[in-house]
Chains A and B, each alone.
Chain A
């Protein structure tokens, strides 16, 4: 109602400002409908948090190419001259606590299991906020997942935005050309997308990377191959969406008018068809930004070496490392060998990396859902 009275006030005043261009106008309208969707605003809020995390991760004082690795010292005091990060752990069966304040008893006697609540070295380290992350339960080394998840923001967001942006670029071009020109071009492009869409995405990424990047070990080289492989998998979806939209747009009156006034094909494509048929792509793009880390996680999980090092600080990789079948069975075996003793299950190892992935993906999907509702008048509730 407030909106209507605003409009009246605007209408009664003499027009000084130029009326905003139709696209800015549309943006305002979209934002108005988007704002009223609670879930979408929650999603946007979480995304803003992740964006802030992305910026701050560049100032985070740690090596962004590898997870911070710790070695347990098994009751010996920490050696300040050692090259690796050390944590003094002490197994309950070892007798008296060794002298010195820096050792603590590990649950289940597993030196690699450290709960988030344990204050390790009050003076130097503090607790590991998300606990420890281990690949070999019961033995060293282990990682700091908090560290990795903060640093991983850079890689995860860079890769997913890179993939989605380049995939959408290719898809939009292919879709616009195929939808506008129709005929043989359309048939060829659509059959190609058919072919790509019938290969499961996970496998397509794997075969492209296994063949082309098998010997690439440099960080950025590997990263660009990863993005390339994902783009190969991703562009057909966008091409399909844009094409179906272009088929509708090209029959509109304004396109006819442009043709009648003598505009050439390229100009019509750029000025009339493209801007009016890419909105549905925005929805798909925002949804896919959340899907890419999930697919990365799945690929790393089945054991494919996506990144140059196994302990690469990227959300998907961390989540995949933390829930390997060997990790699970290792914990269970140690628990069973405790013979009646209480057994702490390291829930934090599974919870935090998974929660990061989940939060990101679900906020992105809230956002995309709100965007779709706001852009499509038929879906507004």
Chain B
């Protein structure tokens, strides 16, 4: 099979899974009270009620009792709620695929950056917040590969020696240490180390050093004149790409671009830690298997330096397993974002999730929208992993 045929087949095979996930969210959404559904689908408006009955006086003044709410009827009709369940399902799937994910509620919000999301379409808002999360994910994937592969190889080569035992302890601790705890501890350590006993910021006078390590950007007080650049506050209008680092660079603010990356390092490490712990074991075991194969013996026999044997011959062949496991754990990896973005107050998709679940009633549009978004990310990552795998190991696409 050609590689591109494999790729196309793999992409087609993903649709049943995506539709299945949407069916699960559809079933859950159908269990919601209809006014809540309408409010999240069409947006909240203080002058508009989504209840089935409203006081008649608002339509025909002078009458008592209650009347059917025209907005309710229109809304239920648009979502197909007055028709059989399979039609509702079809409408839901169609809406999800076409990006009608409803509106963010009028909740009070938890910070200035989240407040601008009020009443906006969920897709738009997730679009604002996604680039930051993607940058963070890229950085932490990089960290995972940089940390896990060399340490895994090392512990395989030094099997059952102290290095191997240390790697094992690292791997166990990564499983048992919750991300928010590791994040808080590292944050505290950084704040106290940089700020000294009185925790004053080293970079921005009048601020605590807490603000040096939390938030996607420095607080407004740290900018000249005490106001942050408009393109930062309203990243809706004037940020061309949405990716914070790229935007800062495009606006010529290299210092800010660097600052954004520095602020990402600790969070990215915290996200990477759990996956590294898991990956280490697999890298080690697959490396051990590869080291016993004939071609490694041949490479050694023909007198290649040990470094070349480990890095070039064995290392590259054990990469397959690493990539597969990385794909399998991607769902767990991505579940770390809401937590880390909460700890470090970063403006990513995870922050929107944290915001939506703290509202009363919950911001269902955001919850379901981000669930679908995260699932799409997981599925995309799995496709990429499979393609990489097929690329690295031609036997896969023959089978």
Contact = CB atoms under 8 A, between A and B. Distances in A.
Are A and B subunits of one complex?
yes
Interface of A: 191-192, 194-204, 206-208, 210-212, 214, 290, 294, 297-298, 301-304, 319-320, 323, 325, 328-329, 332-333, 335-336, 338-340, 342-343, 345, 350, 354, 357-358, 360-362, 364-366, 369, 381
B6 interface: no
A200 B332 contact: yes
Interface stretch (B221-229, B255-263, B338-346): B338-346
Contacts of B214: 325, 329
Interface string B216-240: 0000000000000000000000000
Contact of B371 (A199, A332, A345, A381): A199
Given A200-B334, A325-B214, A357 B21 contact: no
A199 to B, nearest CB: 5
Given A211-B32, A350-B184, A302 B353 contact: yes
A336 B379 contact: no
Interface of B: 16-17, 20-21, 23-25, 28-29, 31-32, 160, 172-173, 175-181, 184-185, 187-188, 191-192, 195, 197-200, 208-210, 214, 331-332, 334-335, 338-339, 342-343, 345, 350, 353-354, 357-358, 361-362, 364, 367-368, 370-371, 374-375, 378-379, 382
The interface residues of chain B, by DSSP majority, are classed as: helix
Contacts of A294: 176, 178
Contact of B208 (A319, A336, A340, A354): A336
Contacts of B358: 302-304
Given A207-B367, A323-B184, A345-B188, A336 B173 contact: no
A207 B176 contact: no
B331 A198 contact: yes
Contacts of B368: 207
B198 A304 contact: no
Given A198-B378, A203-B335, A350-B185, A210 B354 contact: no
Nearest to B16: A191
B286 to A, nearest CB: 14
Contact of A298 (B180, B187, B345, B374): B180
A53 B179 CA distance: 26
Contacts of A191: 16-17, 20
Nearest to A381: B160
Contacts of B197: 335, 342-343
A261 to B, nearest CB: 37
B31 A302 contact: no
Contacts of B371: 199-200, 203-204, 207
A329 to B, nearest CB: 5
Contacts of B350: 302
Nearest to B342: A302
19 contacts: A198-B379, A199-B24, A200-B334, A201-B332, A207-B367, A208-B28, A210-B362, A214-B361, A214-B362, A290-B175, A294-B178, A297-B178, A298-B338, A302-B350, A325-B343, A329-B210, A329-B214, A339-B198, A358-B178
A323 B340 CA distance: 12
B173 A362 contact: yes
Contacts of B179: 298
A210 B357 contact: yes
Contact of B181 (A194, A198, A319, A339): A319
Contacts of A302: 338-339, 342, 350, 353-354, 357-358
